[in-house]
Amino acid sequence: MSADAIVLGAGIIGVSTALQLARRGKSVVLVDRREPGLETSYGNAGLIQREGVVPYGFPQQFGMILRYALNNRIDAHYHWRAIPRVTSFLAKYWWHSNLSRHQMIARAYAPLIEHSISTHNELIEAAGAEDLIQKDGWTEVFRTSAKHDGEMKEAERLAGEYGVKYQDLTPADIAAQEPHLSRDFVGGLKWLDPWSVKDPLALTRAYVALFEKLGGRILKGDAKSLSQTSTGWRIVAGDGTVEAKDVVVALGPWSDTVTKPLGYDFLVGVKRGYHMHYATQGNAKLNGWTMDAERGYFLAPMNQGIRLTTGAEFAMRDAPKTPVQLERAEKVAQSIFPLAERLDQEPWMGARPCTPDMMPVIGKAPRHKGLWFAFGHAHHGLTLGPITGQVIAEAITGEKTLIDISAYRPERFGI
């Protein structure tokens, strides 16, 4: 079987890349070991975060680092055994999170975020997936005035520098917006630009259906079987092999299974995360996506139920589940919203691929013709799927890219 391009990885980044190539008339084969959208793309909070111009940094204050070291929080947890293996990543992550460097990174990151809604909207309309989208932002609620005031100051800065829109919520505003939420909160911050996705897996599948309608093919295969040929690339998939001139590695936290054998050793860490769906008591309803800011968990009204998501777990990618953050979050969440029984048989867990400078790897491999990278999107994979796919597709087809992607080039790792 032959094609113009092979895309490895059927998460939202890979699916979006394959779709953007197909929209440009290319024959594309999308390859994964599983059905599309079942890994990290399935388990996120379901936000297209237009406001997320500042990537999540590593704490700089010694007191905060010490509190995280106690390992009893909801927003972060770590495996002791993993620390020696992730020390190099964490050290560089901390270094890049310094205030001045972090602000420089945000300025380089912002163009991706700025096109997140518009590029999603094109695909949503083409895929007929409008019923999966809610367009009224999301809300952070605060337990203390100090937290509220600090976050409002940052929101004002982001509005001035990046044009994001927000609303300062009083306790009365919160009560009107979420009447079934407890009165524990002194105020809130509503980000007005982002869109919410009621079922991230269904959105990925809608993009897949559009991809197939445009002639794209999906095959199960092992990305580790990738090999270079005299004219391009070959992979074992389906009942045979597929050859193509170009191949895109969009395997998220598993990208190293392909990049390392080819001589590209990226320093990529993994932040694992958990979720669980819940029923509600009586007629209780959660109207919008809500974050308990000081505690570090999210409540999202998904089609499957109220999804409770945790923060980051620093562990080896393939280590067994340890959903202690979920158990901690559940107890707190039940005190502010009438969650009822769990709806899933067991907690879901996914792994976010994170670079130490908090920006994804997007661009052409420096030493192999026809090899392209699209991974490392950390917390913003869903947000950045379509824009990443578009700029990769434009680069492959020789078009001028919608934005300058030089800041995300693989060479910044010194490979």
Q: Residue 111: what pLDDT?
A: 97
Query: Burial of 104 by CB count in 10 Å (0-12 exposed, 13-18 middle, 19+ buried)?
Result: middle
**pLDDT tens, residue by residue, 359-392:** 999 999 999 999 999 999 999 999 999 999 999 9
Write out the DSSP string of 28-42.
Answer: EEEEESSSTT-STTT
Mean pLDDT in residue range 48-60: 95
Mean pLDDT in residue range 278-297: 97
Q: Which fold has domain 1-57+97-132+194-267+357-415?
A: FAD/NAD(P)-binding domain (3.50.50)
**pLDDT tens, residue by residue, 128-151:** 999 999 999 999 999 999 999 999
Looking at domain 60-84+133-193+268-354, does it have CATH number 3.10.20.440?
no
Q: Which amino acid is at 203?
A: L
Q: Residue 259: what pLDDT?
A: 98
Write out the DSSP string of 339-380.
Answer: EEEE-SSS-EEEEEEE-TTS--EEEE-SSSTTEEEEE-BGGG
Query: Burial of 84 by CB count in 10 Å (0-12 exposed, 13-18 middle, 19+ buried)?
Result: exposed
Beta-strand pair 217-220/28-32: parallel
Do the beta carbons of residue 57 and residue 240 sit within 8 Å? no
Q: What are phi and psi of 338, to 5 degrees?
A: -75, 70
CA distance 385 to 120: 8
**pLDDT tens, residue by residue, 60-74:** 998 989 999 999 999
pLDDT category of residue 219 using cuts at 50, 70 and 90: very high
Q: Residue 238: what pLDDT?
A: 87
**pLDDT tens, residue by residue, 232-244:** 999 999 889 999 9
**pLDDT tens, residue by residue, 300-334:** 999 999 999 999 999 999 999 999 999 999 999 99
Q: Residue 89: what pLDDT?
A: 96
Q: Residue 298: what pLDDT?
A: 97
Say yes or no to pLDDT of 415 above 90.
Answer: no
Beta-strand pair 2-8/240-249: parallel
**Burial readout 295-309 (b: 16 or more C-beta within 10 A, e: otherwise):** bbbbbbbbeebbbbb
Beta strands in 22-178 (DSSP E): 28-32, 47-48, 76-78, 133-134, 138-142, 166-169
- Residue ranges per domain, the chain? 1-57+97-132+194-267+357-415, 60-84+133-193+268-354
CA distance 169 to 189: 6
Q: Which amino acid is at 306?
A: I
Say yes or no to pLDDT of 6 above 90.
Answer: yes
CA distance 235 to 257: 14
Q: Is 199 helix (H, G, I), strand (E, B) or coil?
A: coil
pTM: 0.96
Mean pLDDT in residue range 113-142: 98
Please tell me the total number of residues recorded for the chain in this structure: 415
Closest listed residue to residue 279, CA positions, set 302, 309, 297, 310: 302
Percent of the chain scored above 70 by pLDDT? 100
